[in-house]
Amino acid sequence: MTLGPSAWPEANREHYWHIQQTALPGNPPARGKGGAVSTALNGLAARVGEETLRQGGSAVDAVMSTALAQIVLGGGAVISFFGILSLMHYDAASNDVASLNAGWNTVLAEDDPMSIPGKLNPAADGVTNMMLEGEPSGRTAMVGGFMRGLEAAHRRFGKLPFARLFDAAIELAEDGFAVSAGLARYIDVRKKDLARLPETRSIFYKTDGTPYVEGDHFRQPALAETLRRVANEGADYMYKGSWAARCVEAVQRDGGKMTLEDLADYRPIWSAPATVEREGYTIAVLGEPCEGSVNLIESLNLAEAAGIKDIGHWSTSPDSLVRLAKCCAAIGGMRYESPEEQQKAFPGINMSRSSRLTREHAGELWQRLVDQAPVRFLPKGTHSDVVVAVDADGNMAALCHSINCLIWGQTAIVVDGVSIGDPAAYMQSMVAATPRGAQLPNPIEVGLVIKDGQPEIAWSSMGVGLHYQTTQSLLNVIDFGMTIEEAADAPRLLLPISPDGSQRELILRVVDGEFSDELLDATGLEIKSIPPAEARFAQGLWVAVRRDPVTGDLTAISPRYTNGQAAALA
């Protein structure tokens, strides 16, 4: 029996298509005992994960089948089969926690990364409209590990046959679906780039020469065939087979230096998770090479040094809100900077990765933040999607995957339905600091919350404000004793986005109505409030599943301001 929508009860299928096509469908918590899954975006894909669990799949099977469907539903815009993947997994039988990084590999022949064309211009109207300065170049492409990572995780923790994971994705690509408002907006914003190359134009433009718009029926037959080949032949088809050859040819045609050797040599990395102890909990996050984990642990330690728990929650204390803003901005603004740039930001403080994981470092850094002028930041653009799942055996999986660049990339290279992306176009410093052919440090923040040796919560985060949202969500749960539902709905501080693209002094960016005017005025800082409907474009999205260690009851949550969804089996 297929995992795809064609096998679901008709009413159920219509229900989830409605969720998929609605910007804010309402995302109530899901509760059960037999398994649970949750997404931040693409609610129909959550139903794919639920079906996977229903048919005996593991937690890894569920998150992988969901992720495959998410990419098809998004047209490869912000997530890609040649993008990156990060996974945290708990194996109930062995009580082991595993960390998998399948991030970008640099290109062996790229010997002058600082000359890679491209410069991010965030001055455009919002994240969706971020543009790159300069002409498209194949040198901005790197080797994505999504499909290798998916295969590696399934080999270790999957239960269903590998090919079954592709059921829904192939069906959705082959049969097509109505273009949603979100996908239509992406196509409209990038229509010039999508028209640059014949293969890309043939996918996103109709036979009458106009781009697809909301409500049009959108099919991806070339992608369906690619996925069918991977399902039958494994990831080798994309890393050593004919797809790999066509990918290299397309990238080199645009001046890129990628070779077949780069693809054939790709290996995802299993590593020991990084951990931090806090209030009797252990937070386990991605191991090396992952910059996001270092940022998160440092930010949580900073919050402890700042005394936020003792002062009170930031929704009730202006002092706490200002301290939270400093903790988040100091670290969240350093993503993709070189070690030299980090050291320059805080001269005299050891900014090595090992030091940044310690409480002693956080105490020293916090004092610097108290003494110096307001923190300055420069946000970076990323796009992602996330899914978390728990299966009937208590195994947990938390996944984030991303194209990690502009929507489709300015190059808009698509090979047999798979988008390539241009991540090196704004990460030249990070590429230069990474050995040629090695994996780039990953900005993703994804992990498990463990109590008394037993994982209780699997969580993942995404979006340009993922660092802000993850820090607050974990503080809500661990320092302030909130449930995951309460943490998801608590007043939140958003990522400050500079309207002119320059570094700015600390500005508080919040959602209308979540904080009292009196509290915001008492901070003494500039405040920018945005409508709730626009919140998803200015912050991170956090999803989680909790398993009660005593009863085994499951609760899954998805942000209320997206079209994601939580689902659970009784």
Q: Say which residue, 123 or 371, is predicted with more confidence.
A: 371
Sequence-separated (6 or more) residues with CB below 8 Å from residue 309: 303, 475, 479, 480
> CA-CA distance, 78 to 569, in Å (whole number)?
29
Over residues 524-540, the pLDDT tens digits come to 988 989 887 777 666 68
SS3 123: coil
Render pLDDT for 185-212 as a digit per residue (tens, 0 to 9). Answer: 999 999 999 999 999 999 999 999 999 9
In residues, how long is the chain? 570
Q: What is the pLDDT of residue 337?
A: 54
Q: What is the pLDDT of residue 24?
A: 84
Mean pLDDT of 286-310: 94
- Give tens-digit pLDDT for 63-118: 999 999 999 999 999 999 999 999 999 999 999 999 999 999 999 999 999 999 98
Token pair in block for residue 125: 């109207």
> How much of the chain exceeds pLDDT 90, in percent?
77
pLDDT of res. 537: 60
Q: Is residue 485 predicted with pLDDT exceeding 50?
A: yes
Q: Give the three-class secondary structure for 398.
A: strand
Q: DSSP 3-state assignment of 505?
A: coil
In this prediction, residues 497-517 reach a mean pLDDT of 72
Lowest model confidence (mean pLDDT) among 38-47, 148-157, 379-388, 398-407: 379-388
Phi-psi region of 404 (alpha: psi -120 to 50; beta: other; left: phi over 0): left
Say if strands 96-102 and 414-415 run parallel, antiparallel, or are unpaired.
unpaired
Tokens representing residue 151 in the block:
């295969």
What phi, psi does 537 have (nearest 5°)? -85, -5
Q: Which of 472, 457, 448 is nearest to 539 (CA)?
A: 472
For the ranges 359-373, 375-389, 546-560, which has the lowest average pLDDT?
A: 375-389
What per-residue confidence (pLDDT) applies to 464? 76
pLDDT digits (tens, 9 = 90+) for 244-254: 999 999 999 99
Kindly state the average pLDDT of the residues 488-502. 73
Q: Quote the mean pLDDT of the chain.
A: 91
Cβ–Cβ contacts within 10 Å for residue 7, how many?
Answer: 14
Is residue 122 very low, low, confident or very high in pLDDT (cuts 50, 70, 90)? Answer: low
Mean pLDDT of the region 400-404: 94
Q: Decide: 166 and 72 in contact? Cβ < 8 Å.
A: no
Average pLDDT over residues 378-396: 81
Q: What is the number of helices (H) and of strands (E) in the chain?
A: 22, 23
DSSP letters spanning 56-85? T--HHHHHHHHHHHHHHHTTTSSS-TTSEE
User: Is residue 404 pLDDT above 80, yes or no?
Assistant: yes
> pLDDT tens digits, residue range 123-148?
444 444 455 667 899 999 999 999 99
What DSSP element (H or E) covers 368? helix 359-371
Mean pLDDT of 160-183: 97
Q: What is the mean pLDDT of residues 409-421?
A: 96
